[in-house]
Structure 1
Amino acid sequence: MNYIIILIVLFVIELIYFKIADKYNIIDKPNERSSHTTITLRGGGVIFYFGALIFFIFSGFQYPYFFLGLTAITVISFLDDIFTLSNRIRLSIHLTSVLLMFYQVGLFELSLWLIPIALILCIGIINAYNFMDGINGITVSNSLAILILLAISNLQINFVDANIIYYTILSCLVFGFYNFRNKAKCFAGDVGSVCIAFIVVFLIALLIIKTQNINYILFLTVYGLDTVLTIVRRLSKKENIFEAHRSHLYQYYANENKSNRLLISSIYGLLQLLIGIIVIYCTRFNLTIQIISSISIIVIFGLIYLYLKYNLIKKHNL
Structure 2
Amino acid sequence: MYYQLALVFVCAALGAWVSIPAVIRLAREKGLLDYPDVRKTHFIQTPTLGGVGIFIGFILSFTIFSTYDTNGHQLLGIIAAVIFLFFTGTKDDLVPLPPLKKLLAQLFAICLATFKGNVWLHGLYGLWGIDALPPVLAYTLTFFVYVVIINAVNLIDGINGLAGSLVFIGTLYLGFWFTLHDVQYLAVISFAVSGSVLAFLYFNFRTQAQVFMGDTGSLVLGFLLAVLCIGFIEHAHQQQVYSPGVAPAMAMAVLAVPLIDTVRVFIIRVMNKRSPFSGDRNHLHHSLLNAGFSHLQASGFLLVFQLLVLSSVSFLPDNAMHIHLYALIFWGIVLHLLLASLEKRHRLLIRQQSAASQQKTKHQKASSQPPAA
TM-score of the superposition, structure 2-length normalised?
A: 0.77
Match of 1:154 among 164, 175, 178: 178
Q: Distance in 1 between matches of 2:343 and 2:248?
A: 34
> Which one-letter code corresponds to 1:285 in the other structure?
D
> What corresponds to 1:264 in structure 2?
298
- The 1:267/1:86 distance shift into structure 2, 3 A limit, reads same
**2:208 matches 1:183:** yes
Give runs of aligned pairs for residues 1-318 of structure 1, distance below 5 A: 2=7, 3-4=9-10, 6-58=12-64, 59-60=66-67, 62=72, 63-103=75-115, 104-107=117-120, 111-112=134-135, 113-161=137-185, 162-212=187-237, 213-215=247-249, 216-254=251-289, 256-282=290-316, 285-286=318-319, 288-289=320-321, 291-295=322-326, 297-312=327-342, 314-315=344-345, 316=347
Please identify the structure whose Cα radius of gyration is greater.
2
- The 1:214/1:260 distance shift into structure 2, 3 A limit, reads same
Deviations 1:148-200 (A, max 9, x none): 21123123323343222222111111110000000000111111111111111
The answer (yes or no) to whether the contact 1:32–1:244 under 8 Å persists in 2 is no
Stretches of structure 1 that go unaligned for 5 or more consecutive residues are none
The answer (yes or no) to whether the contact 1:32–1:245 under 8 Å persists in 2 is no
When structure 1 is superposed on structure 2, of 52-61 and 165-174 the one drifting more is: 52-61
Q: What is the percentage of aligned positions where both structures have the same residue?
A: 23
Partner SS, residue 246 of structure 1: coil
Q: Distance in 2 between matches of 1:152 and 1:6?
A: 16
Aligned residues: 312
Partner SS, residue 17 of structure 1: helix
- The 1:251/1:69 distance shift into structure 2, 3 A limit, reads same
TM-score of the superposition, structure 1-length normalised?
A: 0.90
Stretches of structure 2 that go unaligned for 5 or more consecutive residues are 124-133, 238-246, 349-373
Deviations 1:262-312 (A, max 9, x none): 122122223222322333334x733x35x21331x2232122122123324
Report the CA distance between 1:36 and its aligned residue.
Answer: 0.8
Q: Return structure 1 stretches of 4+ with deviation > 6 angstroms.
A: none
The answer (yes or no) to whether the contact 1:129–1:193 under 8 Å persists in 2 is yes
Partner SS, residue 94 of structure 1: helix
Report the CA distance between 1:136 and its aligned residue.
Answer: 0.4
Q: Distance in 1 between matches of 2:328 and 2:10?
A: 38
CA RMSD of aligned residues (A): 2.2
Deviations 1:90-138 (A, max 9, x none): 2111001012112314438774111112212211221121111110010
